A = this chain, B = another copy of it.
Amino acid sequence: MDIAAVLRENGYKVTPQRLAVYEVVNNNTTHPNAEAIYKELQPKYPFMSLATVYKTMEIFAKIGVVQVLQCEEDAHRYDFNTKPHAHIRCTRCNRVMDVDVERDKLADLAQTQTGYRVDSVNVSFTGICAECQNEETGCQNEKEN
Protein backbone atom coordinates (compact mmCIF):
# COMPACT_ATOMS: atom_id res chain seq x y z
CA MET A 1 0.00 0.00 0.00
CA ASP A 2 1.26 3.46 -0.91
CA ILE A 3 0.56 5.17 2.37
CA ALA A 4 1.73 8.54 1.08
CA ALA A 5 -0.82 8.41 -1.72
CA VAL A 6 -3.58 7.32 0.62
CA LEU A 7 -2.82 10.19 2.97
CA ARG A 8 -2.82 12.70 0.14
CA GLU A 9 -6.03 11.33 -1.34
CA ASN A 10 -7.69 11.92 1.98
CA GLY A 11 -6.41 15.42 2.37
CA TYR A 12 -3.72 14.65 4.92
CA LYS A 13 -0.15 15.77 4.64
CA VAL A 14 2.66 13.30 4.24
CA THR A 15 5.01 13.70 7.17
CA PRO A 16 8.04 11.77 8.34
CA GLN A 17 6.13 10.85 11.49
CA ARG A 18 3.25 9.31 9.61
CA LEU A 19 5.59 7.40 7.34
CA ALA A 20 7.56 6.21 10.35
CA VAL A 21 4.45 4.91 12.11
CA TYR A 22 3.33 3.16 8.98
CA GLU A 23 6.72 1.65 8.40
CA VAL A 24 6.95 0.29 11.90
CA VAL A 25 3.47 -1.11 12.28
CA ASN A 26 2.67 -2.18 8.76
CA ASN A 27 2.80 -5.96 8.53
CA ASN A 28 2.99 -6.01 12.29
CA THR A 29 0.83 -8.87 13.50
CA THR A 30 1.15 -8.26 17.22
CA HIS A 31 -1.84 -5.94 17.44
CA PRO A 32 0.10 -3.24 19.26
CA ASN A 33 -1.37 -0.45 21.32
CA ALA A 34 -0.24 3.16 21.10
CA GLU A 35 2.38 2.73 23.78
CA ALA A 36 3.87 -0.31 22.03
CA ILE A 37 4.00 1.52 18.73
CA TYR A 38 5.68 4.44 20.44
CA LYS A 39 8.31 2.21 22.01
CA GLU A 40 8.94 0.42 18.76
CA LEU A 41 9.55 3.77 17.08
CA GLN A 42 11.93 5.06 19.74
CA PRO A 43 15.21 3.48 18.59
CA LYS A 44 14.91 4.51 14.96
CA TYR A 45 12.74 7.60 15.35
CA PRO A 46 13.51 9.13 18.74
CA PHE A 47 11.87 12.40 17.72
CA MET A 48 8.38 10.89 17.76
CA SER A 49 6.00 11.83 20.54
CA LEU A 50 3.31 9.62 21.97
CA ALA A 51 0.68 12.24 21.20
CA THR A 52 1.62 12.05 17.56
CA VAL A 53 1.27 8.29 17.60
CA TYR A 54 -2.26 8.70 18.90
CA LYS A 55 -3.08 11.37 16.36
CA THR A 56 -1.60 9.33 13.56
CA MET A 57 -3.43 6.16 14.51
CA GLU A 58 -6.67 8.08 14.67
CA ILE A 59 -6.13 9.21 11.11
CA PHE A 60 -5.09 5.75 10.00
CA ALA A 61 -8.26 4.36 11.49
CA LYS A 62 -10.34 7.04 9.81
CA ILE A 63 -8.92 6.37 6.36
CA GLY A 64 -9.10 2.62 6.80
CA VAL A 65 -5.42 1.83 7.11
CA VAL A 66 -5.90 0.15 10.46
CA GLN A 67 -8.79 -1.07 12.52
CA VAL A 68 -9.15 -0.49 16.21
CA LEU A 69 -9.68 -3.59 18.31
CA GLN A 70 -11.85 -4.06 21.34
CA CYS A 71 -9.87 -6.55 23.34
CA GLU A 72 -11.55 -6.56 26.75
CA GLU A 73 -8.52 -4.63 27.82
CA ASP A 74 -8.04 -1.00 28.72
CA ALA A 75 -5.82 0.16 25.90
CA HIS A 76 -6.89 0.19 22.27
CA ARG A 77 -5.01 -2.09 19.97
CA TYR A 78 -4.55 -1.52 16.28
CA ASP A 79 -4.63 -4.05 13.50
CA PHE A 80 -3.26 -3.47 10.04
CA ASN A 81 -5.47 -6.23 8.79
CA THR A 82 -8.56 -4.17 8.09
CA LYS A 83 -10.60 -7.10 6.88
CA PRO A 84 -13.27 -7.56 9.53
CA HIS A 85 -12.31 -10.36 11.85
CA ALA A 86 -12.36 -11.26 15.50
CA HIS A 87 -9.59 -11.58 18.03
CA ILE A 88 -8.64 -13.75 20.91
CA ARG A 89 -6.38 -12.54 23.68
CA CYS A 90 -4.43 -14.74 26.02
CA THR A 91 -5.14 -13.57 29.55
CA ARG A 92 -1.77 -14.86 30.61
CA CYS A 93 0.66 -13.38 28.09
CA ASN A 94 -1.66 -10.91 26.34
CA ARG A 95 -0.80 -12.29 22.95
CA VAL A 96 -3.61 -11.54 20.48
CA MET A 97 -4.52 -13.71 17.51
CA ASP A 98 -7.00 -13.35 14.70
CA VAL A 99 -10.13 -15.42 14.42
CA ASP A 100 -12.44 -15.60 11.44
CA VAL A 101 -16.11 -15.51 12.26
CA GLU A 102 -19.17 -15.09 10.10
CA ARG A 103 -19.91 -11.54 11.02
CA ASP A 104 -22.68 -11.14 8.47
CA LYS A 105 -24.66 -13.94 10.04
CA LEU A 106 -24.26 -12.37 13.47
CA ALA A 107 -25.28 -8.98 12.13
CA ASP A 108 -28.42 -10.47 10.58
CA LEU A 109 -29.24 -12.18 13.84
CA ALA A 110 -28.85 -9.00 15.84
CA GLN A 111 -30.86 -7.01 13.35
CA THR A 112 -33.70 -9.51 13.42
CA GLN A 113 -33.77 -9.66 17.19
CA THR A 114 -33.55 -5.97 17.96
CA GLY A 115 -34.63 -3.99 14.93
CA TYR A 116 -31.38 -2.06 15.04
CA ARG A 117 -29.64 -1.25 11.80
CA VAL A 118 -26.33 -2.95 12.56
CA ASP A 119 -23.21 -0.94 11.79
CA SER A 120 -20.47 -2.93 13.46
CA VAL A 121 -19.99 -6.42 14.78
CA ASN A 122 -17.35 -6.89 17.40
CA VAL A 123 -16.36 -10.35 18.48
CA SER A 124 -13.58 -11.02 20.90
CA PHE A 125 -12.47 -13.92 22.97
CA THR A 126 -10.18 -14.41 25.87
CA GLY A 127 -8.48 -17.63 26.75
CA ILE A 128 -5.14 -19.24 27.25
CA CYS A 129 -2.91 -19.63 24.23
CA ALA A 130 -1.32 -22.93 23.32
CA GLU A 131 2.07 -21.87 24.60
CA CYS A 132 0.78 -20.78 27.98
CA GLN A 133 -1.25 -23.97 28.27
CA ASN A 134 1.99 -25.90 27.93
CA GLU A 135 3.70 -23.83 30.56
CA GLU A 136 0.74 -24.08 32.87
CA THR A 137 1.59 -27.30 34.60
CA GLY A 138 3.20 -26.61 37.93
CA CYS A 139 3.34 -22.93 37.26
CA GLN A 140 1.15 -20.43 39.01
CA ASN A 141 -0.96 -18.19 36.90
CA GLU A 142 0.46 -14.67 37.04
CA LYS A 143 -2.93 -13.14 36.48
CA GLU A 144 -4.60 -14.70 39.48
CA ASN A 145 -5.93 -12.11 41.91
Tell me the A residues contacting B by CB distance below 8 Å: 70, 72, 86, 88, 90-91, 97, 99-101, 106-107, 109-111, 113-130, 133
Q: Is the CB of A101 within 8 A of B91?
A: no
Q: Is the CB of A101 within 8 A of B90?
A: no
25 contacts between A and B (CB under 8 A): A70-B72, A70-B122, A72-B120, A72-B122, A86-B110, A88-B114, A88-B116, A90-B116, A91-B119, A99-B113, A101-B109, A114-B129, A115-B129, A115-B130, A116-B127, A116-B128, A116-B129, A117-B128, A117-B133, A118-B125, A118-B127, A119-B126, A121-B123, A122-B124, A122-B126
- What are the 3 closest A-B residue pairs judged by CB atoms, nearest first? A116-B127, A115-B130, A118-B127
- A111 CB contacts on chain B under 8 angstroms: 127
